[in-house]
Amino acid sequence: MLHNGSNVFTTGATGLIGGELVRTLITQPIGKVWALVRPTDDSPAERLSQRRRRSGPSAAVPAQRFPVAVAGDVTQERLGMSPEDYEDVRRNVDIIIHSAAETSFLRASACRSTNIAGAKNLIEFTRQCTRRPLLVCLSTAFVSGVVANACLSEDEGCRPKDDHHNEYTHSKAVAEELVRSSGLPVLVVRPSVVLSAGVPDEQFARAILQFCPLLKELGALPVDPQARPDVVPVQFVVDSTIRLLQTPHRRYDLYHISCGLDGAMTYEELRPAFERFYHMTSPMRLVAPRHWNKDLHRTYIRTPDQRRIFATIKNYLPFLNMNVLFDNTRLKQELGDRFPPLPRLDEYLFGLLEMVSHDRIARRWLAAKGA
Ligand SMILES: NC(=O)c1ccc[n+]([C@@H]2O[C@H](COP(=O)([O-])OP(=O)(O)OC[C@H]3O[C@@H](n4cnc5c(N)ncnc54)[C@H](OP(=O)(O)O)[C@@H]3O)[C@@H](O)[C@H]2O)c1
């Protein structure tokens, strides 16, 4: 349990979730926080400061509470740490929060080395630690693989042997299974789709929403109007994880951090606000994929630009159409009145789209993807 004086080792603190998690963690009355950071031309400490700045103004925190940046790489033996850092963390850590991952849908081999080999290295490291720390893993709700039209409970979730839309979710499923079968004290949290609401950083907003400004160029899309995406804001993930860690005697070692059946919106419900946001003069037609035929495709995907855009968004369509929600009853019951605020998607989506609404940026991204 996270309490006064707990020493916490984190990975992935330069990323969206890890960065926000560390930012909140250091406001708590806990012990030392280390952050494992890959060195680049900039030092790990400089990279952590750069990440902190991307979050905007933060609550004032005394300098001695700042995380200690430790150079390393989860794909390497002993996490690539120097012998001194390795010994310091190994002897003193109480909680390990593993958020580092390769999150690309395209880089399959990097997904395997970072997510699977990375999990093995974290497990091995945890075994070597003196204080039998809790290993907390940021998994993903999408470890369920190819599923459609369902509301899944945690126990229906992890399917490493089933088909997956990409190696990212497959590698995360393998990693989760390794962690949960390790025999170590573990806590696995499975966020659904996490948006960077409240973080004033265009790059984080773009990570998931970059394709949205392009959609207005297409008058119709093979997206089921009645499908609902399960999306949550990053602070909900951070607060849920920290509150779980502060809960004595948790009933489970695995929780969805998701929107579930409460407040999930259909694309049809989101559509009017989307059209208004992009000043679209005619309604966008959403067509369930089973009804999307060659004639519709020829009618709506006509120009070279439209074809390029369609080729780009193709990778997202299976996810947009999954219509899978992840039941959050377990998290609600565990946290009770400490369940964090969970705003509806339309309350924060358009603020994020403001940051990615420039066609210029979207087109640059399209060109970089070579679509
Ligand atoms: N964002 C979502 O929608 C979402 C949803 C569900 C679950 N998750 C899970 O939540 C976790 C955090 O996701 P995120 O969105 O914050 O990811 P992110 O923004 O892509 O950040 C990934 C982090 O992992 C680090 N990393 C990658 N490879 C590494 C390596 N070999 N050694 C050490 N660090 C490495 C990155 O460091 P660099 O800065 O050096 O690249 C970065 O800090 C991941 O486990 C992800 O699978 C995310």
Mutate which of 10, 46, 74, 103 to test ligand 1's pocket (most atoms within 8 Å of Cβ)? 103
pLDDT at 360 over 70: no
pLDDT at 7 over 70: yes
CA atoms of 60 and 103, how far apart (whole Å):
31
Sign, CA torsion 102/107/113/119: positive
pLDDT at 295 over 90: yes
The CA 196 to ligand 1 mean position distance, Å, reads: 13
8 A C-beta contact, residue 217 and residue 305? yes
Indicate the SS3 state at residue 371.
coil
Cβ–ligand 1 contact at 44 (below 6 Å): no
Q: What is the pLDDT of residues 162-175, one digit of tens each?
A: 999 889 999 999 99
Architecture of domain 8-191: 3-Layer(aba) Sandwich (3.40)
Cβ–ligand 1 contact at 138 (below 6 Å): yes
Q: What is the pLDDT of residue 371?
A: 47
CA atoms of 13 and 35, how far apart (whole Å):
6
Q: What is the pLDDT of residues 39-98, one digit of tens each?
A: 899 999 999 999 999 999 877 777 778 899 999 999 999 999 999 999 999 999 999 999
Mean pLDDT for all residues in the chain: 93
Q: What is the pLDDT of residues 256-268, one digit of tens each?
A: 999 999 889 999 9
Q: What is the pLDDT of residues 135-153, one digit of tens each?
A: 999 999 999 998 999 999 9
* CA of 142, closest atom in ligand 1: 6
pLDDT at 4 over 50: yes
pTM over the 0.85 mark: yes
Helices (H) and strands (E) in the chain, counts: 16, 13
Angle, in degrees to the nearest 10, between helices 16-25 and 234-245: 50
- Name the residue with the closest Cα to ligand 1, atom 10: 138
In the chain, where the domains are located: 8-191
Cβ–ligand 1 contact at 74 (below 6 Å): yes
8 A C-beta contact, residue 100 and residue 14? no
Indicate the SS3 state at residue 321.
coil
